[in-house]
Amino acid sequence: MNRSFFNTSILLAGALTFAACGEKKAETPNPATIQVPVNTYTVQPEKTVYYDQYPGTVVALTQVDLRAQTEGYITGIFFQDGAHVTKGQKLYQIDISKYQASAGQSKAALLVAQANLEQAQKDADRYTYLNEHDAVAKQTLDHAMTALQNAKNQLAAAKQDVVKTQTDLNYSIVKAPFDGTIGISQVRQGASVSAGQTILNTISTESPIAVDFLINEKQIPRFVNMEKQKISATDSLFTLVMPDNSLYAGTGKIAFIDRGVNAQTGSITVRLSFENKNALLRAGMSCKVKVRNQDTSAQVIIPTKAIVEQMGEYFVYVAKDTVIKSATDTTNKQNMAPTPHAIQRKVTQGAMIGDKVIIKTGLSEGDVVIIDGVQKLHDGSLIKKPEHK
């Protein structure tokens, strides 16, 4: 190898190495000094009308299952499924032939018992008269009086049998117990039914109708006070949101509050009553109960996008000028100027109002809450000077 070429290569390599060592390395920004751009909202309590919402279930104020009280075959159905029926209206007829026969037989037995009693009474009267004149043996009078008592007992039994057979005959015709809506028939004509077991149908009242929902036991005083209030038909204290999220046209009032609290859940049932003239509310329907809050004091309200949820708890970030140092920072804290930081604060949420939420605890008037950029923040993050809104 040419010696001069070898020396030249060494010199070139050395020059390149020196040049590389002489270059200044690019510095990586310290995450602790990065300022996150944010937008803020200044808390100003304000008066507002809002509603607390509760899951509810529509129930009929009165609802009964129609059961057969006699056994036999269905020989007649006298309504249309889902129709409105009136109290005393004939709905079903169970084969009455054997009950008519039993009723006729019991009435005939009653006539016989009445005739036997009349004869026994005459015999007793006759022997009593004869006994007063010592014209008959005492034993004969005793037999006559015993026969009279037996005749009376037989007449009483015959009367009870007439009542029983007539009741069975009446029960063979099933009538509506009250005005309401009848459901889909569970039996058809010709079906065999058993007394006290077979459910024929269900009938329920349609207006007014009830809505049940649960409240926490801590809210009992509030609802008891509302129960005592005189509410007009147009008062919107209680309203309903239908399953399609439409608002039900009518308003309700408290029918009653249940007698006791569920010891396991700490909740109690409240029942509301609504007029249901248009039959939009049906038993078993799910809905939302809106209860207008009557608190007229100013509330702390912030945009919902400011809320951060962590492990089932809710927080916001408050923009605050302060000095926060890391553990490795040796700078004299007294000589440092306060800079804007994001300070995490736990809050308690209240009712939702559109795109805002009421804050029950955790914030006060004048607090500056961060509403944009919260995803990039942690407690103590540096932020750019917020723009107050």
Q: What is the pLDDT of residue 278?
A: 82
pLDDT above 70: residue 263: yes
For residues 233 and 314, the model is more confident at 314
Residue with tokens 């008891």: 224
In this predicted model, what pLDDT tens digit does every residue of 134-157 receive, in sequence order? 887 888 888 888 998 999 999 999
DSSP one-letter code for 91: E
Residue 149 pLDDT: 93
Q: Which amino acid is at 374?
A: V
pLDDT, residue 32, reads 57
Say yes or no: domain 31-48+297-382 is CATH 2.40.420.20: yes
Q: Read off the pLDDT of residues 214-226 as tens digits, 9 standing for 90 and up.
A: 999 999 998 998 8
**Backbone CA torsion sign across 144, 145, 146, 152:** positive
335: pLDDT confidence band, cut at 50, 70 and 90? Answer: low
Q: What does the block give as tokens for 351?
A: 């009712």
Which residues fall within 8 angstroms of residue 188, CB to CB, at 6 or more apart?
74, 77
CATH topology (fold) of 97-171: Helix Hairpins (1.10.287)
Whether omega for the bond prior to residue 208 falls within 30 degrees of 0, making it cis, is yes
Residue 183 has pLDDT above 90, yes or no: yes
Q: Residue 326: pLDDT band by 50, 70, 90 thresholds? A: low
Considering only 28-37, 60-69, 251-260, 275-284, which range has the smallest mean pLDDT? 28-37
244-257 average pLDDT score: 91
**Mean pLDDT value across the chain:** 84
Report yes or no: 124 and 148 within 8 Å, Cβ to Cβ: yes
Task: Give residues with Cβ within 8 angstroms of 258, minimum separation 6.
Answer: 268, 269, 270, 271
Q: Which residue has the higher pLDDT, 326 or 372?
A: 372
Residue 248 is predicted with a pLDDT of 92
Segment 74-125, tens digit of pLDDT: 999 999 999 999 999 999 999 888 888 888 888 998 899 999 999 999 988 8
Residue 310 has pLDDT above 90, yes or no: no
Whether omega for the bond prior to residue 221 falls within 30 degrees of 0, making it cis, is no
Q: Confidence band (pLDDT; 50, 70, 90) for 328?
A: low
Q: Which residue has the higher pLDDT, 48 or 26?
A: 48
For domain 205-292, the question of CATH label 3.90.1300.10 is answered with no
What span, in angstroms and rounded, lies between the C-alpha atoms of 75 and 59?
Answer: 32
The reported pLDDT for the residue numbered 292 is 85
pLDDT band at 349 (very low <50, low <70, confident <90, very high): confident
pLDDT at site 142: 85
Phi, psi of 3 (to 5 degrees): -65, -40
* Strand (E) or helix (H) holding 140: helix 138-171
Range 209-238 average pLDDT: 84
> Tokens at residue 255, please?
């029918």
Q: Residue 5 pLDDT more than 50?
A: no
Residue 181: its H or E element: strand 180-182
Domain boundaries, given as residue ranges, for the chain: 31-48+297-382, 63-93+172-203, 97-171, 205-292
Q: What is the DSSP string of 149-169?
A: HHHHHHHHHHHHHHHHHHHHH
The answer to whether 183 and 241 have CB atoms below 8 angstroms apart is no
Pick the range with the lowest mean pLDDT from 25-34, 66-75, 226-235.
25-34
- The predicted pLDDT at position 27 comes to 54
The 10 Å Cβ neighbour count of residue 221 is 9
pLDDT higher than threshold 60 for residue 7: no
Residue 6 has pLDDT above 50, yes or no: no
The per-residue pLDDT for 136 is: 79
More confident residue, 3 or 231: 231
pLDDT of res. 18: 47
What span, in angstroms and rounded, lies between the C-alpha atoms of 114 and 330? 119
State the average pLDDT over residues 19-35. 56
63-93+172-203: CATH topology = OB fold (Dihydrolipoamide Acetyltransferase, E2P) (2.40.50)
340 closest CA partner among 372, 317, 308, 363: 317
Give CA angle at 39 (33, 41), nearest 5°.
125
CA neighbor of 85 nearest in space, from 204, 195, 199, 193: 204
| pLDDT above 70 coverage of the chain, percent | 85
Give CA angle at 354 (351, 356), nearest 5°. 65
